[in-house]
Structure 1
Amino acid sequence: MAHEVDPLEHERASWKPSSGLAVAETDPVTNPGLPPHRERMTDKDPAALKRAVRTVYILFYLSLAGSIWAIAAYMLFPIEDHSLIAVRDNNLFVGLGIALALLAIGIGAIHWSKAIMSDKEHIEPRHATRGRDTTREGAVAAFAAANEESGFGRRAMIRNSLFAAVIASILPGITLFRGLAPQDVDPVEALSHTMWKQGMRLAHDPSGVPIKASDVTIGSAFHVIPEPLAQLSHADGYLDEKAKAIVLLMRLPLDQLHEADDRKSWSYDGIVAYSKVCTHVGCPVALYEQLTHHLLCPCHQSQFDVSNGAAVIFGPAARPLPQLPIAVDSEGYIVAQSDFHEPVGPSFWERH
């Protein structure tokens, strides 16, 4: 008598429990091996190999030319007059030079690896990495084999053109750094003097309302500008002057304020004023921790201790924040005793 098999029962029979989980029985997959090697045209035709080599070093020399052009374009199309046409031409031609330099070196490297380097498939077994002599000898042998397969040591035109292209590709970026500084301006002179003068009142930023000493409570912090700055227009250099003169004003308990002997007259009843421009790269130091009396630069996390002359206690900044000497006038307003006694802003080569 024929017996019908339940399909569900048959499926359940093909599963076996393993560690509490049901797994299906399957046949192991055999390793199919590597596909048949197909030779490239450059492997079969010496003339094609020579053309590929010539193409690679021509691309590298094109990259070299692009880098040189980017530097030349930076000088041929100056942006000192700040006109839109000058800025447009400078960005266009410098950008084209850098694009050619990077694109040619990238295409050349890819064509080198695809058409010239060894194209043989191989299997590299995994093994434990150890610092034995045999391991070091094997590493040397691997580098020697890579050099032989790539032809780096034998193909002088490719090697030399690659070195020239890579070195030259860095030069446009270095050249452009010059544009970060004002042209024909002495940085020492530019940063050594700000708007602050003797008797000039400290005012709220940006309203320009003068600040009285009685308004500054313990633990408070005020963003401050010189009072006359609020009357300047952008055409008169408002931003340039503000970038150098911005100040943070804070009041600390007298028993927590540690001042150098030659600066004890620079504060008033625990009220101190420090430049807001970080001495690392010039970011605005805008965060004040009331309990610790620390100022924090949000750009690179430099920290300054206000209770100890704004000394650097953390981060990449190399110098304390410059202090603005202050006093109080007959009407109770906080005024500057003088300008800063040192250049504000980040460190630079010419700085003393």
Structure 2
Amino acid sequence: MAILIIFTIILFYVGQFIERLPSRFIAYVFNSLLFVGLLYCFLDLTYTADWGMYYLFFKREETSTDPVFYWLTLIFKKGLNLQYTELYQFHIFLIISLYYFFISRFTKNIFFIFLAYLILDNVHLANQIRYYMGFPILMSGFYFLFYKKKYILSIICIILSILCHSGLSFLLVCIPVYYFVPAKKFYTYILSFSLLVFLVTFYIYNSTLGEILSHYGGYFNAGSSFLGGLFNAIPYILFTGFLYLETFFLLKKNPEIVEDPQFRFLNKIAFFPIIFIPASFLIQVIGHRYVMPFSFIWMLYYYIFFIKNQNPKVKLGRFIILCGIVFISAMFIYIIPGYLFPGNHFMEEFLEMIKSSDNLKGMID
């Protein structure tokens, strides 16, 4: 609890400081400090939930894993004569760099956006290194495709992301949704699609089809109670519901903003993962993979259109609101489950990760 409070306070005050002093140098200093701090925290880890699996992949030079991880295994193991620890550290360095790259396309205040995101999703990012290296590459691919219209660069990013983790291929449904769903009916269509995905997931979950999908069969078998899945989705519902209400009033006040290419891009990408929220009630990993990673887009979207260019009084209030939403969401992820359920998965994994680090374990000793 103390860690969450400290991070939230830092997030609020440094975000305010960077925003109030429009100096790129100051932003660069704080962003660099965060980058170094994150490397200090993450590179020293020697435990994640999937560490043993990835170590076996590395040791056996497993060809059945995703291509990028296999190719990097050969480079690090045979080409550079390094161990899995160095390969893990390379993934973490590259993941953070890729997120920095994407966020920097829209704002210099990377510190605020990325730290807010990490408060919610650090366990997954540190653990699922194939997926989380591919995800920001895919988002960059969407950025080049939808926003910059650089199609060749977009295709390269999209292909590379899927080579990092084949599960990212499900997110390619964003392309037809982005292009063919009209802006005025976007939210209605998204909710309709979410019902369809829920029904398909319900059918798969209650049939043998999940076993046929060998790569994902384990995930379909690893379901949850409906109420447990609904509780797990509270942060998604809270955040997207909050963003929808804010967007509703923004569009009433300023309807012409839909013509802004930046708004159109971030708005559609931010609300796209709603498609997967109802399905996550049945299978929690759907939310972990296809909803929660988008939370950094939620931070970015709200910051750009509801905080960045506002007068100081409004800006202060909205900083406080966003930090409050982040804190409440984090409570539902890390704290409240410990009082309601026999186990508290995210807190347990978070603490185990900290204990594995010589740099961090003093925080909980």
Pairwise TM-score range, normalised by the shorter structure: under 0.3
Q: TM-score, normalised by structure 2?
A: 0.21
Which structure has the highest helix share of the two? 2
Which structure has the highest strand share of the two? 1
Q: Which has the higher contact order (CA 8 A, sep 6+)?
A: 2
Q: TM-score, normalised by structure 1?
A: 0.21
